[in-house]
Structure 1
């Protein structure tokens, strides 16, 4: 048996959190899947038209960046933070700006997902 399917989805977010209370289109998703016997192959394209609904939880909620968890925690990251603070210890505002720029990542507008799988019925 061979079949395929195509899906479109639209996500709308109402009041993303209690602080910013932003609303808007969170994502538009297009998916395509092919099923051949028990295997399936597919892909999705996810587009985020309004990035400001994701931009929160950092000191500047309008910069298009969010915290990068891989750069926030752990011994190596603590050493980096200590070095930044020691170099610019006379200006805490500058230290915070440098630290935020190092530990944040740009919010991605376009995401691509590829899926390969096997399905069965129990």
Structure 2
């Protein structure tokens, strides 16, 4: 039974375009700006939707307050997963009014 579970986990991982660790790394890199420092709490991939759900928190250094939210990153069909953070406490300190865009990219199929 344990062998079957391990095999199923490997098959599921091979179907994901990016590992959860890579999604978290790219998300944190792109969402940490100025007074905002983000930390990814969880990443889930839906094969059916071809999308990631990222649960994250951030600290506003000006107030010291920690906030929590989640974001869905949808596949654009060309190797990018895109979403918008529309949470006011996140975007307002960055000077945005509507949304803050986040993109996570898969590697190109061309060799360098």
TM-score, normalised relative to structure 2? 0.36
Higher helix fraction: Structure 1 or Structure 2? Answer: 2
Structure with the greater relative contact order (CA < 8 A, sep ≥ 6): 1 or 2? 1
Larger-Rg structure: 1
